[in-house]
Amino acid sequence: MVRRYGELTAVDGISFEIAPGETYGLLGPNGAGKTTTISMIAGLLAADSGAVRVLGEQMGPSRVAVKRHIGLVPQDLAIYPELKGRQNLNFFGRLQGLRGKELTTRVDEVLDLVGLTDRAGDPAKEYSGGMKRRLNIGIGLLHRPTLLILDEPTVGVDPQSRNAILESVEALSGEGMAVLYTTHYMEEAERLCDRIGIVDSGQLQAEGTRDELIRLIGGLDRVRLDGSGDLAAAADALGDLAAVEQVDVDRTGLSLAVREAPTAVAELVTRAIAAGVTLADVEITRPNLEQVFLHLTGRALRD
Amino acid sequence: MRQLWVMTSSDLRQRLRDKSVIIFSLIVPLALMFVFNLVFGGTDEIELEPVTVAVSAPADDEVAQTLLDAITGTGVVDVTVEQVPAEVARTAVADGEANLAMIVPEGFGEDVLAGTGGDLEFVEGDTSGLETGVVIVVSQSVLDAYAAGTVAATAGGGLGLDPEELGRVAVEAATAGPTVESTEGETSDEQLGQGAALVAGQAGLFLTFTVGFGVLGLISERQEGTLARLQSMPMRPGLIVLAKALTAFVLGVVATSVLLTLGGLFFDVSFGPPALVGLLILSVVTAITSLTFIVVRVARTAEQAGIIQSILAMVLGIAGGAFFPVTASGSLARVLDLNPIAAFTRGLGITSSGGGLADLAAPIAIMLGFAVVMLVVARLIPDRGVSR
């Protein structure tokens, strides 16, 4: 997909696929092109070139039938604050084509799913930020979409509500729904997403599972052993281990590049002590998506 | 269509909960109608007050006597004449004891009859007004009649008529009625009275604001983030704007109907058969609603929409006679005639004076034609506004 705004190319050739039951994360900083990308996928915008296909059918602003497969949870709270929670769900449910008993039943199910049954009769403006976010997500689920698009659904949410939202998304994925999840929170992407696309400057910089992406930067954990004693002897002893790729010695300790550090750390400590080192601290740093992003783009995820 | 109904009915409910619609669409225009009626009310039904005229005139002056008979017998102004010396007459006006002084000099009558002119002096004071103006005009008319007779006699003398014939011609010239008469024509029939014009004008002016709530509703959807969700629903994107326009149309029809009804009751005005008035309301609301489609393509923010809407309301309202009658000639008059609010007011003038459906063809054609042109223009304008 390509989408331009005048001179600015907001989305520059992004392409990916999502399978049923898969949660795909679009990870990138603000302004990377995530929202423009999902706007085209949801049929809000037409692509200047390229195409979006949902279940094989091309999506576009006027593709009414294809839009039925999509459930959009916009980044902004897309609810009517003056309406009660149930009224919000009823309104959007009707627009999705639900009616009568089917609508009533589905609204009850969604209220239960997002934990708002007790507050369904209250105006949405009286909800907490987290409750509004949950209602926002519930509206996107009403018609059981094939593809649920969540655009930064946890922005401005307290930790408790964030956890509830993440649990809901995990449950949906388990039911076979395809989920497209955009975020600039690395930990959310790592927890939820089966595959992740790293977006920057309107381009897909890399794509794959978490481990695949980490392997792009070597995939080695860092272990720091702070201490005193015969550091050189310890370096020789540790360097002989198969899991250890590299050992550096300095005045206060040892820095090691290690495969699967959590597994190897016990052996590392034992050998260091045996070599005559008195340890003061042990620290393991595993490579994460933040480092992947930094490696790929030269800047931090939240810049 | 079901989605259109769902959006429109929900929007109408939310608009009615929003008190600003009721305030701007009904309460403010009704209040302005009362204010303008207090300020301008009654000027089309003038009651002339009695006046006192202090007159100084020679007792044997026939022309002066004729003048006094004329000003006391107008049947329009109740005139009391007080015969006083010239200086007393002037002082009476200065002191407010008389509204007007008329000073007829010695030999005035002879001069008038001889055709050599003469100075008739009027003195107005602080208490003078429209009534004394009527007295002066009546006096002038009498003197004009004398002048006409004198001119006729002089001309007859030049032609060699005998004295008896000359006298008959002079009297005939002096007493002849006007040879040109004006009668009330069709245009006059289309004019609303002042009270009715105020009601119609204010209803037309505030219709523009009422319809503007449709545009503001669309902007509100974007600001609250619901526009993106609506656009993701399985319906054509144009349906969202159409729902807002339909909301605006319904609000416009209801508000205008209520304003004309209440305005008619409060100010004792009748606009004619309800069916024809209803047809005019539907036409003018259609015309003004069509502007919605242009505003949503041009305005990006609530502020921009508010400014555009206010400009349109004031231009169309003022040009349509919302505050005072606007008249023009030539090409400007033709442009003003294309204003849907002016056409609406003109249509109400026709229905209030007994006109039928055929008589409404022109104003209705103007309003519906305006709507068509605005819709075509909206299609041609690149969409840079709130509906994007």
Q: List pLDDT tens digits, range B121-156.
A: 899 888 778 888 888 888 888 888 877 777 767 776
Cα–Cα distance, A63 to A170 (Å, whole number) = 29
Classify residue B98 by burial, with Cβ atoms within 10 Å: 0-12, 13-18, 19+: buried
CA dihedral (A271, A274, A278, A280) positive or negative: positive
Check if the beta carbon of residue B244 is closer than 8 Å to that of residue B215.
yes
**Closest listed residue to residue A288, CA positions, set A158, A199, A198, A201:** A198
The model's pLDDT over B286-315, given as tens digits with 9 standing for 90+, comes to 999 888 788 877 877 777 887 888 888 888
Structure-block tokens of residue A122: 């209250």
Percent of chain B with pLDDT over 70: 85
CA atoms within 13 Å, Cβ hemisphere of B297 = 17
Among A residues 86-115, those touching chain B with beta carbons less than 8 Å apart = 91-92, 94-97
Instruction: Inspect the interface and report whether the beta carbons of A95 and B7 lie closer than 8 Å.
Output: yes
Chain B interface disruption, residue of A94, A132, A142, A182, most B CBs within 10 A: A94
Structure-block tokens of residue B137: 């005009």
Kindly report the average pLDDT of chain A as a whole number.
89
**Hey, is the C-beta of A141 within 8 angstroms of any chain B C-beta?**
no
**Hey, is the C-beta of A78 within 8 angstroms of any chain B C-beta?**
yes
Residues A2-215: name the CATH superfamily.
P-loop containing nucleotide triphosphate hydrolases (3.40.50.300)
Instruction: Inspect the interface and report whether the beta carbons of B233 and A92 lie closer than 8 Å.
Output: yes
Structure-block tokens of residue A301: 């995820």
CA atoms within 13 Å, Cβ hemisphere of B232 = 28
> What's the whole-number mean pLDDT along residues B87-108?
89
Res. B187 pLDDT band, cuts 50 70 90: very low
Classify residue A148 by burial, with Cβ atoms within 10 Å: 0-12, 13-18, 19+: buried
Query: Going by CATH, does the domain composed of B51-179 fall within 3.40.190?
Result: yes
Per DSSP, the three-state class of B144 is: helix
Percent of chain A with pLDDT over 70: 99
Q: Following DSSP, what letter does each residue of B75-107 receive, concatenated?
A: SSS-EEEEE--HHHHHHHHHTTS-SEEEEPPTT
- Above 50 in pLDDT, residue B185? no
> What's the whole-number mean pLDDT along residues B70-80?
84
Res. B161 pLDDT band, cuts 50 70 90: low
Query: Going by CATH, does the domain composed of A221-286 fall within 3.40.50.261?
Result: no
Classify residue B91 by burial, with Cβ atoms within 10 Å: 0-12, 13-18, 19+: middle
Res. A278 pLDDT band, cuts 50 70 90: very high
Check if the beta carbon of residue B380 is closer than 8 Å to that of residue B306.
no
Nearest to B225 among A77, A91, A92 (CB): A77
Check if the beta carbon of residue B24 is closer than 8 Å to that of residue B72.
no
Q: For residue A300, how many other CB atoms are within 10 A of its CB?
A: 11
ipTM above 0.90, yes or no: no
- Above 70 in pLDDT, residue A91? yes
Beta bridge partners of B31: none
Nearest to B228 among A68, A74, A96 (CB): A74
The model's pLDDT over A11-22, given as tens digits with 9 standing for 90+, comes to 999 999 999 989
Cα–Cα distance, B270 to B283 (Å, whole number) = 19
Q: Following DSSP, what letter does each residue of A107-167 receive, concatenated?
A: HHHHHHHTT-GGGTTSBGGGS-HHHHHHHHHHHHHTT--SEEEEESTTTT--HHHHHHHHH
Cα dist from A261 to A192, A227, A239, B106, B346, whole Å: 23, 18, 14, 133, 89
pLDDT score of A185: 84
What's the residue count for chain A? Answer: 303
- Above 50 in pLDDT, residue B99? yes
Shortest CA distance from B222: residue in chain A: A78
Beta bridge partners of B80: B52
The model's pLDDT over A119-158, given as tens digits with 9 standing for 90+, comes to 999 999 999 888 898 999 999 989 999 999 999 888 878 8
**Closest listed residue to residue A117, CA positions, set A131, A136, A133:** A131
pLDDT score of B178: 56
Query: What are the strands of the beta sheet with A195-200, ordered from one edge?
Result: A70-73, A147-151, A178-183, A23-27, A195-200, A203-208
Residues of chain B within CATH 3.40.190 domain(s) are: 51-179
Q: Please state the domain extents for chain A.
A: 2-215, 221-286
pLDDT score of B267: 82
- Above 80 in pLDDT, residue A57? yes
Nearest to A96 among B10, B226, B233 (CB): B233
Q: A275 or A175, which is more confident?
A: A275
Contacts of B237 in chain A (CB under 8 A): 61-62
Cα–Cα distance, A183 to A1 (Å, whole number) = 19
Q: Specify the range with the lowest mean pLDDT, choosing from A114-118, A122-126, B86-90, B147-151.
A: B147-151
Res. A259 pLDDT band, cuts 50 70 90: confident
Chain A interface disruption, residue of B224, B230, B233, most A CBs within 10 A: B233
